[in-house]
Structure 1
Amino acid sequence: MSTPAVPKSSSASASDWSPLLRTELIRAYIATLFISSVYIQFVDASLPDGSRLHVVIPDITRRHWAVNIRKFTRRVRDLNQLVGLGSLTQQASEFLRMCVLSGQNILVSGATQTGKTTMLNALLTATRRNERIVTVEETFELDLAARDVVAMQCRQPSLEGTGEITLRRLIKESLRMRPDRLIVGEVREAESLDLLIALNSGLPGMCSIHANSARDALAKLSTLPLLAGRNIDSAFVLPTVAGCIDIVVHCEIDRHGRRRVIEILAPSGRLAGPVIEASPIFLIEGGTLTATGGHPGKLTKFLAAGLDPAIVLCAGAA
């Protein structure tokens, strides 16, 4: 089913939905979605303030309707604000800013609700003003203030099974838009192959992925492309991931409920058997994100941009 938008009403302006969404309007909206077909058991839609609405009805649920509304906060706009919130240190922030400016391919990993999208948004504020950025997502979540941004989202098939637009299709279409940087909101399945092919062509990019650690993120990105078909195997995928991904930023929620970066990893571009070699650049030590003394093994992009990560990394060790 395609993702609908809430119809405009003279009695409900955008401000009426904040801070609390009006229950009666949501009920009326859900009813209009379901009334068109008795065969619809799920609804995934956007509300006027950008919140995501997901509904499941009986007999899929046991008794009651399950209505979930996911609201997005916009209080974090850049890396400096993440530093202020304690999500990462100033040194790590400067290193990540240098990574963005030099066009490193960055993979942001973490579990659900650990701040992966927030981190992507913050990283993208470090891009140069003249960059053309293309973003592709399953549903719109990224919120960029850049001057030249093309934002695209997927479309679910209609009731007749037609009109579907997948992430794979969007990634392929984005390459025809002459982007300076490609951002994929999240990779979960075979679309990871299309992302790797794009990055392997020299196009800088970023994406997020669900994973339990930075190294687990590399391993997962090395297996997801295998879902694309029988002609794809590890002999192609592993070296491609090793060569494409330059930096992995892993996010986590600590026991106090604070979202923070707990690891920044730099793949070397080499393989040790079936494992991608990588050096930790920052790790949590004593509750603080600390430089390990390690350095990125891939320096070509840094040098081409006239940047030296050692200046930032050694400054913290001094």
Structure 2
Amino acid sequence: MTQLYPDRGLPTTSLVDRVRERLRADRTDPTAEPDAVARLAQAEVRRHNDVALARGAAPIDDEAARVREVLAAVTGYGPLQPYLDDPEIEELWINAPDKVFVARGGVSERVPVQLTDTTVRDLVERMLHSTGRRVDLSQPFVDASLPDGSRLHVVIGGIARRHWAVNIRKFVAGYRSLDRLVALGSLTPGAADLLRAAMRDGRSVLVSGATHAGKTTLLGALVGASPAGHRIVTVEETFELGVDAADLVAMQGRQPSLEGTGEITLRRLVKEALRMRPDRLVVGEVRDAEALDLLLALNTGVPGAATIHANSAVDALGRLAALPLLAGRNIDRGFVLHAVATSVDLVVHCERTDDGFRRVAEIIEPTGRIAGELPEVRSVYRAPGAGWTA
């Protein structure tokens, strides 16, 4: 007969099994009743120590730490949970079961975590359990929002070489205000006042930058600077903004079903958002033909805010003018250029420096005229050289 508690090892696995047995017997949902799980874990750790002392075996010295390990395995994400709980870690990714990395302050480092392919798949399934999304051979990629607002992206093995590739970008709420970004040195008080006034006055703002430059963080701060009475409608492929407002509707896209039906695209969400009487339409990221629908919305007088990948603020305008062409062959580039030049009021470009700091590098303002193949702009802000870590 196998002993439930090995008397001389580190019995975390057996403790986890025992807690799970009791949860099943009590028909307790660990995700819905975390306090009950914590009480069970604490009781099982103490029970183990009582048995160990009675038998002259080694007890668990740090009961609190062992309880945390059990909770991470039962209700959290196992060996990854301590890193997800660490407020200094902004991102975690898995290239292979024995190659796990995190990013702190924009700088990546490998961490001493040893997983297995089965463990990685089980963790992903647990993360996706409450999202209504799936990843399998028919759907080898997935984006999903975790309960704490973090974004999960997964590519299964076969598309990624050998092992599943997993990326978790955490939600860092403390940075999503303009005042906080000023305090961190990401932009000057004058630039923050400029952006705050733009949101107050209903001007449309485009946030640009490379990957991990802080675009979503800044967009969240801008939305947070909107007047209290404004009705805000946000649309995203996967919830990332995590903003809060008195009058807010947040929508995300949906993957197609196994039969290939039921997909909800960003284009559809933008169109639906316009029926909701928004004082401001927010698009998490413009990357495809939804750019056309956004421009049409801006030209009908609905203020907008969005992010876009670009190497500079000027490049962002050029990309915003090119993406609508993906909507069909009958889209006239001259119309799109004019729409960009007249409907976008400010472009805020973010960058990440070599040491991991993020900052607002420049802010430009289109003049409404076309200069060659791009809208004419004037510069209204240049960074003095400081930045933030997210």
Written as runs of structure 1 = structure 2, the 5 A alignment for 1:178-217 is 178-217=277-316
Name the structure where helix makes up a greater proportion of residues. Answer: 2
Among 247, 264, 289, the residue aligned to 1:165:
264
CA contact (8 A) 2:236 2:283 kept: yes
Partner of 1:279: 378
Partner of 1:64: 163
Among 188, 206, 212, the residue aligned to 1:113:
212
Distance 2:166 2:305 in 1: 32
Distance 1:46 1:28 in 2: 17
Q: Does 1:8 align with 2:107?
A: no
The 1:49/1:60 distance shift into structure 2, 3 A limit, reads: same
Among 114, 118, 122, the residue aligned to 1:28:
122
Deviation at 1:143, TM superposition (A): 1.7
The farther-off stretch of 21-30 and 92-101 is 21-30
| Residue ranges of structure 1 left out of the alignment (5+ in a row) | 1-6, 290-318
The DSSP-based 3-state class of the residue aligned with 1:83 is helix
Choose 1 or 2 for highest CA Rg.
Answer: 2
Among 348, 354, 366, the residue aligned to 1:267:
366
Among 318, 323, 329, the residue aligned to 1:219:
318
Partner of 2:196: 97
The 1:150/1:213 distance shift into structure 2, 3 A limit, reads: same
Deviation at 1:156, TM superposition (A): 0.9
Deviation at 1:99, TM superposition (A): 1.1
The DSSP-based 3-state class of the residue aligned with 1:128 is coil
Task: Count how many residue pairs are aligned between Structure 1 and Structure 2.
Answer: 283
Partner of 1:88: 187
Specify the code of the residue in structure 2 equivalent to 1:200.
N
Partner of 2:355: 256
Deviation at 1:270, TM superposition (A): 0.8
Deviation at 1:26, TM superposition (A): 6.4
Distance 1:272 1:108 in 2: 21
Deviation at 1:228, TM superposition (A): 0.5
The DSSP-based 3-state class of the residue aligned with 1:222 is helix
Partner of 2:12: none
The 1:229/1:20 distance shift into structure 2, 3 A limit, reads: same
Distance 2:137 2:338 in 1: 49
Distance 1:166 1:41 in 2: 18
The 1:77/1:200 distance shift into structure 2, 3 A limit, reads: same
Distance 1:288 1:52 in 2: 27
State the TM-score, normalized to the length of structure 1.
0.81
**Percent identity among equivalent residues?**
58
What do residues 140-189 of structure 1 show as CA deviations (whole Å, max 9, x unaligned)?
01122210000000001011100100000000001111111100111001
CA contact (8 A) 2:289 2:327 kept: yes
Partner of 1:229: 328
The DSSP-based 3-state class of the residue aligned with 2:258 is coil
Deviation at 1:272, TM superposition (A): 2.0
Distance 2:258 2:305 in 1: 33
Higher RCO by CA contacts (8 Å cutoff, separation 6 or greater): 1
Deviation at 1:69, TM superposition (A): 2.0
Distance 2:378 2:242 in 1: 31
Alpha-carbon RMSD across the aligned residues, in angstroms, is: 2.8
Among 207, 215, 224, the residue aligned to 1:125:
224
Among 346, 356, 359, the residue aligned to 1:247:
346
Partner of 2:66: none
The farther-off stretch of 159-168 and 39-48 is 39-48
Distance 1:232 1:173 in 2: 22
The DSSP-based 3-state class of the residue aligned with 1:197 is helix
Deviation at 1:39, TM superposition (A): 4.0
Deviation at 1:206, TM superposition (A): 0.5
What do residues 228-277 of structure 1 show as CA deviations (whole Å, max 9, x unaligned)?
00110211100010000000000001122110001000000111232211
Specify the code of the residue in structure 2 equivalent to 1:260.
R
Distance 2:321 2:166 in 1: 35
Deviation at 1:65, TM superposition (A): 2.2
State the TM-score, normalized to the length of structure 2.
0.67
The farther-off stretch of 227-236 and 20-29 is 20-29
The DSSP-based 3-state class of the residue aligned with 1:92 is helix
Deviation at 1:43, TM superposition (A): 3.5
CA contact (8 A) 2:205 2:347 kept: yes
The 1:77/1:273 distance shift into structure 2, 3 A limit, reads: closer
Distance 1:128 1:189 in 2: 29
Distance 2:339 2:243 in 1: 29
